[in-house]
Structure 1
């Protein structure tokens, strides 16, 4: 059997790194693109990339996807069978400070991916979106078939825009597209701007942690290996344009395109205070909480209905917060052995 090639954008990022490892271990040839942006520690990204470069079937292009012609050149050279587009400017709060970076990376970058796929169609395009796309919806759990028209941050708006852009290309050029809506992903090698990283660093150093919405936030925390398993299975769940426009009940498949939106979440909202308690248990330390109001652009709760994922793949994420947080804290202490560990 001919070895299949997967193009992974954002390959040195948190999710990209874990997905690339899984794909390489499954026997795929993986081509990564990552510009090693300085939004957070470039060294952390370089360390992830160095681990991937130990695999003979991995190669990486250190360029920005929004630069004209870069992605097209990669498609022309490698003719990927699958594309998993994870490269993005992430973070709700940073999108208030620097919205242009979201326009360039998320919207222009995705446009370059879609144009390259139009010229060299892969078997399946899988693009990362976010649970933030649900915006001001209050009906829980979030279902993919719910309207999602009122995004609360420019980050969320940029990701919803990519869903719509991809739908138009799927319809016009018959490109099979699956959009993932990720729900608060965490785990080893995670992003330093995420709450778990910040909490662990501060608690071990004996410093206070900022707790938004006075601890009343709820999140559907999804462990990284569960998310990667779901993505890997969804690669084989290629959407097809409905011949008669009829879509099964509960399916987010478009009636006019091979395009589907999929939630990937644990289907279990966790109170922020309970999440902090898991960090306290894993570190053996007690957190000093700095209670703060809700941040602009944020939402008080997320909760995924993952029944469509289960229907398509037979899989449901299942790692509990206590187990997942303990795995992260173990990694953190190994990666930062010099970090202060307050007694």
Structure 2
């Protein structure tokens, strides 16, 4: 199901994406195991295509740039650099393991081998690990083989429902509802189209849409980058006044993992449509990225606009909130789709 990854692209800037690619490559191997030498390996000497980062490295090292054909012999300097970087990436894998503990689905042996940890586990333990893989796949949709690209929409919708479950558990006294494309005919916001949902939402916020708003003015709210996926409001006594506590949330799931963090979540795209001005709701971005630097800090906190949940924080919240992935609550929210996708990605029906 996952494309075979022959050679890993090393990224100097967004190196957390390289670590994800290492995990994906491990999942795409026949025995679900990967040695550090497999990570450092460059493409075959025939028709070598240096990545931009490799080219940057060779320029920094003053390796002659007279002709790209000079690199067809796989320069020892570049190979040494890739071997060094591969070992550094293992430190980042170890960070993930140290933070997540038993929730992390991979084992690291002798500081040089990554392998899938699925042996001698009960169903609940394995399901938690598969949920991590599900989140990894939500960040890997462009890596699927052609014949299963239809899973992209299903993955995105399942990720939104996963986020809905989590936020409902975090804010049990709030009304939390999905408004994105994955929540058609769902819950209180039962309108089929974007306009009906936003119109219903305005009523629940004790306001109404501005008189100029028509359906064409609402499309930007629920489609494209910056869309609103989940909303929450606190109004348990059915107060008819405005300015209640509000939550606006985006689920940043994309077919292109490098573009997820370039999404621009602007809650005013929604709030500007209401007659009553909504100022400063709690804003959340939930992403399947593992957006971490060494030691577990966020890779670049300046990109985290509002409350930010990446793959690490999502998994830790599952554990902290005691969400049982085999529970009825989880099944009703997500169905069985996420774990089915994981099983197919791993060819689990035949191998596990």
TM over 0.5: no
Larger Rg: 2
More helix by share: 2
More strand by share: 1
TM-score by length of 2: 0.29
TM-score by length of 1: 0.29
